[in-house]
Amino acid sequence: MPKMNMIQALNSALDIAMENDPNVISFGEDAGYFGGVFRVTAGLQKKYGLDRSFDTPINEAAIAAMAIGMAANGLRPVAEIQFSDYIFPAIDQIVNEMTRLRYRSAGQYTQPIVIRSPWGGGIRGGQTHSMSPEAFFTHVPGLRVVIPSNPYDAKGLLLASIENNDPVVFFEPKRMYNGPFDGKADGALQSWANHPKGEVPQGHYTVPLDTAEVVREGSEVTVIAYGTLVHVALAAAEKSGIDAEVIDLKTLTPYDIDTITASVKKTGRCVVSQEAPRTSGFAAELSAQIQEDCFYALEAPIYRVTGWDTPYPHAHEWSYFPGQDRFINALKAVMEAA
């Protein structure tokens, strides 16, 4: 089976989708001729032409608005926002138009749109190239939010998103484009070629949009993560000596509460994580739902591992980033709590 990094896997998904369906269109700032800042769309314009892979002005609101019109007229647009930090000018179009058109037209119009965007920190991008804005979008009815943690899932989830008739915001953890990251900034760079999830089928396949995966089985505590923090949580679990069960969420809305509750009822303890700032983050939603569904099984409060309530700092990136030590401290605390 071929070995791919996440860039190659996503590019393969786009190539397959565009080859199989002439209605699939790819566009964004520098996403046509140049192939995107991270090269995810490289080669698509040359293969499929200017009408199906093209560059746009630096106008995120216009990118989202174009996608809405295309989708309402039968196309399946895949729009790239160059960095997730720049998605906010498009929020009005996404929230007030894209996610509501199917509802207000009583199903007459659908919005099979995917908005791809590099997401998260870990590349010394500072406050304007490191944000994790997923919580803003999980609050919006009618919108799916997907964040893969490895090349195999990235390809399968992107193909499933493109084939879905609901709008999807597809965040791509840019720190892991070229290899997994265990949270140790001074550690050696890792390659997907040496990771089982770097084995990616050449052809078409999909990964379900509403199913989480237990990536490490354990009996003492459940750890819930997504994106980059899946690998940090796995490394912390091994280092801590605590028998932690780690769940890769993959899809944030709708999230797989059944897998979560089954695990928490087994372990009786839970740690939830996010790279985003702590207050009002997606980890808080998870904590509330787990508390409602697993109250009588919980033996300790639910702990959160998160970023800080500050802009993402350039000079102090690794103080902000939720690394292994923060996970290990949370694991120890939840095990010691009454």
List the catalytic residues. Answer: 129
φ, ψ for residue 40, nearest 5 deg: -70, -30
Buried/exposed 57-85: b ≥16 CB within 10 Å, e otherwise: eeebeebbbbbbebbbeebbbbbbbbbbb
Alpha-carbon gap, residue 52 to 130, rounded angstroms: 29
Helix or strand holding residue 276 (H, E): strand 270-277
Detail the DSSP E strand segments found in 38-93: 53-55, 76-80
Alpha-carbon gap, residue 195 to 180, rounded angstroms: 8
Alpha-carbon gap, residue 135 to 244, rounded angstroms: 25
Integer-rounded Cα radius of gyration of the chain: 19
User: Whose CA is closest to 114, among 82, 160, 59, 176?
Assistant: 160
Beta strands 221-225 and 244-248 are parallel
Is 331:223 a contact under the CB 8 Å cutoff?
Answer: yes
